[in-house]
Every structure is written in C-alpha cells, then in structure tokens.
Amino acid sequence: MKAQFTTFIPPFRTLMGPGPSDVDPRILNALSRPTVGHLDPAFIQLMDEVKLLLQYAFQTENQLTMPVSAPGSAGMESVFVNLLEPGDKVIVCQNGVFGGRMQQNAIRCGATAVMVQDNWGKPTDLHKLEDALKANPDAKAVAFVHAETSTGVRNDAKAMCALAKQYDCLTIVDAVTSLGGIDLDVDGWQVDAIYSGTQKCLSCVPGLSPISFSQQAVDVIKNRKTKVQSWFLDMELVMAYWGQGGKRAYHHTAPVNSIYALHESLRILHEEGLQAAWQRHADMHLALKAGLENIGLEFIVEETYRLPQLNLVGIPDGVEDAKTRAQLLNEFDLEIGAGLGELAGKAWRIGLMGHGSNRKNVDYCVNALTSVLRR
C-alpha cells in the first residue's frame, strides 16, 4: 500500500529558548512572496539594501558586509577559513560552548589555538587575555564570543578588542546572540571580523549568517599564501556576487525568499532604532527577573555581565529538568532551553530575543513556570 502523507502544520509555540526566537508576522509574510531569480535586477537591488541595513545593524562602514547563505555556524567558519592559514596562531577565549567551537575551527584551518579559559557563567578575564598576548607575540588574532549563548554571559567586547589591538592582533567576534539585542559597535570597537545569525535577536527564520570584515581583514584575505580551504565560503569569490550595484558574477543560488525575510527583519530593527531595541531587551529582562525571583528562582550570572536576551536560571532542588520543560511544551506550548555542558541539568536558558522580547511573553513564561513548579 502506498504511504500517505499530509501537509505539515506545525504547532503554535512560544519560543523562549536560546533560539530560534518567535518570528515577526511581517517577516513570515515577506518569506511567502513570489520567488525571483537570484540575478534578477529587482533582487540585486534588494541585496544592496540588505547590505546597507546590515551595516546599520553592525554599526560599520565595512564594504565586505553580507549574509552567508547558511546558518551562524557557517558564518563562523567563513571568518576562520578566510583569515587563518596553516601555521598561524590565534588566541581563543572560552567561557562556554561556543568559544570551544572557535577553537575547533582554528584547528581545522591548520592554526594553533592558544586557549584563555574562564569558568562557565563568568566573563573572560582581561588579565588572562593580556598574559596570553604577552606570551604569544606572534599571535595573528584574538577570537571570542560577545554574548555566550550557553551561559548568558556578556563578554566586554570593547575592552577585549582594544587589548588585542595593543598587541597588533586581528579581532574575531561571535555576535550570534548579541546582534540587535545589546550594544554592538563594529567600527567603534575595531572589530575586524564578525558573524551572527538571523534566528536570535533579529527574529528572522534560521538559515542565514550576517558577517562583516574590516579593510585590514580584507587585506589579510587578499594576501594569503594559500587558497581558502572552502570554495563556497571563499570571500573573494562570494563578493563577486555580493558586491555593490552593477553586474554580479554567479557564485551560488542565494536563498531568495530567506533574503526577503532578512530584509524585512532589518527594516523592523531600523524602524525601532538600535538604542530602542537594546533598551527594550533590557526592560523585558528586568520584568522577567522580577517575576521569576518572585516565585523563588535565582539567576546564575551576576548582573554586571548578565545578558538581557538570554537568561540563565538555576533549577531548584528536587525539580526535574527534562520533565519540567516537557510539561511547559506539552501543556503551554512554551519552549525554554536546557543547560549545556557543565550547566546541563543545573540551569534553564530562557530567551527574550527580538520580536519575542515583550511583556506578553514575560508574563506567559512566569505564569506557566509558576503553574508547573507548584506541582
């Protein structure tokens, strides 16, 4: 008998985990519009606008600013494979899962990763970073995560970049969870290479990774001794397609409808304004904090370096992690995230990102957790 398949209708969830976040209806509407060719003049014009809007979001004038046609992990890889060559040395700061992924990317490029380790739930120690820079005068770059999604910690990106520049190092920054949610100033902080994702504070669908390279980073790419190990992620090839105006050279078939969605999400951010978006995330964090502390839950990360958009909350004694999250999902259609690595089974990660950073979601999350925990 021939198998029968029905149209997939997803459940309506409230997404308050570490990502993806709730997608704005305007973005879903943009996603559904008619597909055009990836070299259509109308689409080329849209690409130019996406670039300008990304420059606004990153606060940069970098010409090499674009979305990679793949999720944030590909953005990370594109930065490392373009800037690092075999024999290079990079200082990688790790205080969570994603610093470890930076290390793995560096190793796969044939580079040496000098690790600066700090406890999960704590920010990178600037003294440790400076010690590593002094001990490794041949280091080419310093790489770190701005907003560590696994722990809810904000690293001091401005200070870390300034320190790296004192020792003539390139700066590589993971902004997957920070773009659109907290203060980020690529040009002001002298960030040389940065990557993000669309599914966090931009409230877009997953599958694209905004990136940006400074002119210094572009010069490093142009003067490589070896070819970039990835053809698909080779920036010199990609920029022939993602250039500015004029005729574009075919490189790959862009995810056209996803670019529609990104364009709309960046328009929404531009309409609200960066400072207003950052303030909204901060305000909703304080509202969530008050509600959760009122029912006896405690935040693990200290307030001075706590992310407003990704909240790490301790699981009370006697409460089963997986069972509680399953009840929230099955009874309330509410998704929150589990702890990762050292924090697995010890903490929940509650996201307040982008479109989902609103008072309705805050109240719904607090009320749902209250109901489940009282049992």
Taking only Cα atoms into account, the Rg of the chain, rounded to an integer number of angstroms, comes to 21
Q: How far apart are CA 303 and CA 121, in angstroms?
A: 11
pLDDT for position 128: 98
Phi, psi of 363 (to 5 degrees): -65, -40
Q: Residue 63: which of 54, 72, 73, 71 has the closest Cα?
A: 54
Q: How far apart are CA 67 and CA 279, in angstroms?
A: 25
Classify each residue of 96-109 as buried b or exposed e, where b means 16 or more C-beta atoms within 10 Å of its C-beta: bbbbbbbbebbeeb
Give alpha helix (H) positions in the chain: 25-31, 41-58, 72-83, 97-108, 126-135, 157-166, 215-222, 235-238, 256-272, 274-294, 321-332, 359-373
Q: How far apart are CA 129 and CA 107, in angstroms?
A: 19
180: Cβ–Cβ under 8 A, 6 or more apart, which residues?
57, 200, 201, 202, 269, 274, 277, 354
Is 230:77 a contact under the CB 8 Å cutoff?
yes
Is 214:86 a contact under the CB 8 Å cutoff?
no
Read off the tokens for 304.
Answer: 């001075």
Residue with tokens 């929404």: 268
pLDDT for position 247: 74
Indicate the residue type of 272: E
Residue with tokens 């203060």: 183
Q: How far apart are CA 260 and CA 34, in angstroms?
A: 10
Q: How far apart are CA 253 and CA 39, in angstroms?
A: 9
pLDDT (tens place) for every residue of the chain, 375 residues total: 788 999 999 999 999 999 999 999 999 999 999 999 999 999 999 999 999 999 999 999 999 999 999 999 999 999 999 999 999 999 999 999 999 999 999 999 999 999 999 999 999 999 999 999 999 999 999 999 999 999 999 999 999 999 999 999 999 999 999 999 999 999 999 999 999 999 999 999 999 999 999 999 999 999 999 999 999 999 999 988 988 656 788 999 999 999 999 999 999 999 999 999 999 999 999 999 999 999 999 999 999 999 999 999 999 999 999 999 999 999 999 999 999 988 999 999 999 999 999 999 999 999 999 999 998
pLDDT for position 211: 98
**DSSP state for residue 355 in the 8-state scheme:** G
pLDDT for position 248: 85
pLDDT for position 5: 94
Classify each residue of 266-303 as buried b or exposed e, where b means 16 or more C-beta atoms within 10 Å of its C-beta: bbbbeeeebeebbebbeebbebbbebbeeeebebbbee
pLDDT for position 1: 78
Q: How far apart are CA 65 and CA 53, in angstroms?
A: 10
Is 184:138 a contact under the CB 8 Å cutoff?
no
Is 133:164 a contact under the CB 8 Å cutoff?
yes
pLDDT for position 244: 65
Torsion sign across C-alpha atoms 20, 55, 281, 158? positive
HEC readout, 84-144 = CCCCCEEEEEECCHHHHHHHHHHHHCCCEEEEEECCCCCCCCHHHHHHHHHHCCCCCEEEE
Task: Say what the pTM is.
Answer: 0.96
